[in-house]
Amino acid sequence: MSKVVLAGVHEVHLRQLQRVLNAAARLIVRKRKYDSISATVLHWLPIQQCIDFKLCVTVFNILHNLAPSYLSTMCQLVVENPSHRRLCSAARGDLAVPATRTIRLYGPRSFAVTEPSTWNSLPASLRNCHLPSAFWCELKTELFARAYSY
């Protein structure tokens, strides 16, 4: 199952899935049930950051013409809209986030809303990366720092 399906899922359900992943990590490193599992043991991202990683990689592929063309309709730069070209978000290179009232059925959970929102939350230096392997590495580092900033 793709992690993108989990975008926008309520926190309580993500916590349950995170517990399953932590149990799997304990099994791999042979720890007991109630032993603490450090995130640095396997360099695994928490489930929310895994979802964000997959969303950002998908947007990167869309913007670099590496994804199916039907996805590109859900990913438009703010600067491409003539009435929004003077906005600060256009100068930053943000993606347009549609109003959730215009999105039928899933609203804020829809791919058309979650993927530009997640992409826009990344630092500009990361969004301007052009090599896929460098982008993946820097993105994982960024998300790991967000998850485990003490």
Residue 106 Cα distances to 4, 57, 58, 133, 136, angstroms: 14, 22, 19, 32, 28
Angle subtended at Cα 149 by Cα 118 and Cα 15, rounded to the nearest 5 degrees? 65
pTM of the prediction? 0.72
**pLDDT tens-digit series, residues 15-62:** 888 888 888 888 888 888 777 776 545 667 888 888 889 888 988 988
Q: How many structural domains is the chain composed of?
A: 1
Confidence band, pLDDT 50/70/90 cuts, at residue 106: low
For the chain, the first-to-last Cα distance in angstroms comes to: 31
Confidence band, pLDDT 50/70/90 cuts, at residue 9: confident
Q: What's residue 104's pLDDT?
A: 52
Range of the domain at 63: 3-147
**pLDDT tens-digit series, residues 86-101:** 555 555 667 767 665 5
